[in-house]
Amino acid sequence: MAESTLSIGRPELLAEVGDLLDLGRTSTDWSATDLARVEAIIKAGLRRFYVPRAQLAGPVIHHWSFLQPVATIATVAADWEYDAPDDFGGLVVDQFTFSAASSYAPIKGLVPLEHLLNMKAQSNDSGTPHLAALRVKAHTGAAGQRYEFVFYPIPDAIYTLSYQYRVNPNALSASYPYPKGGMVHAETIMEACKAAAEDYLGDTMGIHHSLFQDMLQTSIEFDRSLEPTNLGNYGPHDEPVEIDRNNVTFEGVEY
């Protein structure tokens, strides 16, 4: 699939940030130190974009729709522990859904890890899992924090479980030059990186901070327009549950 020619990628971000720092627009002309500095600024800018904050009955994080993929787990008989993806940043919904070919009800809601471990200690049952918990894996510092899922009863066969999670994105590279979000958020991403450059230059209240705030609000509103505003007939008397999206203001995270 061809990328939009209006998308923004690592080369454009390097050029724009380098220009703002008076390094010129050709990164191959920079020293290794200057290139590392610009790369660090771009990382800071991407973090600002990927983790925006909205004001909605108190500060809450807006979770971008494009950072919420669906993943699957294929269980193995007698194995009750399964690694979460390396980029796992939390579940979108605490639910695991079995494959459409099965007739099993979803595993809804994570239980406290202690509760699941106590049940396993009392009865080491196997069968179709109907409880799940999230466990933090030991952290040595050799890699980032990792997580795993544990299920009970211990699976007695292959079950395909689907779940939706939040991604912790990676930095851009020559092999993977495009930031997540696509063309529609290109200007917001650019201004996030320029705002980070302003911080580096000591001009924390510069024009790019203001532009980033304005564009961030537009990007979030666009992303919210992709979400359903009607959640179906979950209310009393089969009335659709509506989501109120009015009077929301947005604010970027500072680093």
Q: How much is the pLDDT for 3? A: 87
Q: How much is the pLDDT for 101? A: 86
- CA nearest neighbour of 38 among 21, 60, 53: 21
Q: Using CB atoms within 10 Å of the CB of residue 138, give its burial: 0 to 12 exposed, 13 to 18 middle, 19+ buried.
A: exposed
Average pLDDT across each block of 10 residues of the chain; the chain has 255 residues. List them in order. Answer: 91 97 97 98 96 60 92 97 97 95 93 96 96 94 92 97 97 97 97 95 85 92 81 46 41 37
Round to whole Å and give the CA distance between 66 and 177: 17
Q: How much is the pLDDT for 142? A: 85
Which bin fits 189, alpha (ψ -120 to 50), beta or left (φ > 0)? alpha
Q: How much is the pLDDT for 61? A: 75
- CB-based contact 20:209 (threshold 8 Å): no
Q: How much is the pLDDT for 52? A: 86
Q: How many CB atoms neighbour CB 16 within 10 A?
A: 19
Q: How much is the pLDDT for 2? A: 84
Give the chain's length.
Answer: 255
Which bin fits 49, alpha (ψ -120 to 50), beta or left (φ > 0)? alpha
Q: How much is the pLDDT for 180? A: 97
Which 3 state secondary structure label does DSSP give 225? helix
